[in-house]
Chains A and B, each alone.
Chain A
Amino acid sequence: MTPSQRLDATFAALADPTRRAILARLAQGEASVADLTKRFPMSQPAISKHLRVLERAGLVSTAQASQRRPRKIEGARLGEATAWLADYREFWERRFNALDALLDQLQAKPQRSTRKRR
């Protein structure tokens, strides 16, 4: 997958509230399908389906060695998705900080041009 396709898969996986809830649970530690089924009001096949989407997106992996096959969260992929928007957010934040400064300056001084509109 290209980086763009990976991000697509990641965001598509994150778009669903149940999958986000599963991730939130896995962020606290590994859990098997049975553990997750007890925790969420849905059938085991439904949980497994959500887990497959999360695994395809690289957000969750399965420990094959253990009989329970616990799922765990893959932080790197989640980090990649977060960093992608974080840089963009930072770009706007810098720009808006400059706007803040300008607005402060304009409000501190009597306005040069014409009307005062407060």
Chain B
Amino acid sequence: MTPASNNKTQVSLPSDTEVRVTRDFNAPRALVWRAHVESELFRRWIGGYEGWSMPVCEMDVRVGGKYRWRWRQDAEGGEFGFYGEYREVDAPSLLVQAEYYDPGTFGGEMPTTPTITRTTFTERDGVTTLVVLITYRSKEERDAAISTGMTDGMETSYARLDALTAEQQGS
């Protein structure tokens, strides 16, 4: 089974501080939900960085439950990650997280207020639509996240993800 060709990610900017990411998946909603809330499944897709491992992927998915994700650069030992708290959990349709960036060994400010990520799951005719609405603290921070935070250093991860995708599709 390969993804349908129309399953393209769409990105829009609903306001100065928000980003909305929308994508369809050819899978039942319950399964897409599981891939978001079971750490063993989640870590298999959330982020692969070439030369990086994910030593920490802890998720206590319930209202008020905490999560912590951390990546380690195997060659140099550098680490960074994200941590936060689940604010709303309504299986299998809504997940709201308050998220903080953890600069780890890379330095930089520890944020004092979180970014809010609201993920909604809807299913129609066996296709699940995922909408991720990310609200940043300010327009500057949103722009910075789009410009650098999400792309710098991640280019290399693409090759690995591609390899993983090919391997899994081949199996």
A11 in contact (CB, < 8 A): yes
A106→B140 CA distance, assembly (Å): 39
Across the two chains, which residue of chain B brings its CB closest to A15? Answer: B13
In Å, the complex CA distance between A47 and B115 comes to 40
Residue interface bits B21-43, CB-to-A below 8 A is 1, else 0:
10101111011101100000100
Contacts of A46 in B (CB 8 A): none
Give Cα A117–Cα B46 distance, bound, in whole angstroms: 23
Are B168's CB and A105's CB within 8 A? Answer: yes
For B150, the chain A residues whose CB sits under 8 A away are 88, 91
Main secondary structure of the interface of B (DSSP, over half): mixed
Partner of B41, one of A3, A96, A102: A102
Residues of A67-111 contacting chain B, CB below 8 A:
84-85, 87-108
Partner of A106, one of B9, B31, B144: B31
Chain B minimum-CB-distance residue to A117: B30
A97 CA / B28 CA spacing, docked (Å): 16
Residues 27-77 (chain B) with a chain A CB within 8 angstroms: 27-28, 30-32, 34-35, 41, 44-48
Interface size in chain B (residues, C-beta < 8 A): 47
B 134-145 binary contact with A (CB < 8 Å = 1; else 0): 000001100110
Report A1-56 residues with CB < 8 Å from chain B CB.
Answer: 3-4, 7-8, 11
Q: Which residues of B contact A4 (CB under 8 A)?
A: 140, 143-144, 147
Prevailing SS type, chain A contact patch:
helix
- Closest chain-B Cβ to A65's Cβ sits at a distance in Å of 36
Q: Is B6 positioned at the interface, with any CB of A under 8 Å from its CB? A: no
Given A100-B7, A105-B168, the answer on whether A118 and B161 have CB atoms closer than 8 Å is: no
Contact A103 B11 (CB under 8 A): no
Contact of A11 with B13 in the complex, beta carbons under 8 Å: yes
A103 near B35 (CB under 8 angstroms)? yes
Complex-state Cα separation, A100 to B24, whole angstroms: 9
Contact (Cβ within 8 A) A97 B161: yes
**4 closest A-B pairs (Cβ-Cβ)?**
A101-B168, A98-B45, A103-B27, A117-B30
Q: Residues of A at under 8 Å CB distance from B?
A: 3-4, 7-8, 11, 84-85, 87-108, 117-118
Q: List 16 A-B contacts (CB under 8 A).
A: A4-B140, A4-B147, A85-B11, A87-B151, A89-B11, A92-B132, A93-B23, A94-B161, A96-B7, A96-B23, A97-B3, A97-B161, A100-B25, A101-B169, A103-B35, A117-B31
Question: Apart from A89-B21, A97-B165, what 7 extra A-B contacts exist at CB < 8 Å?
Answer: A11-B13, A89-B11, A94-B157, A94-B161, A96-B130, A100-B7, A106-B31
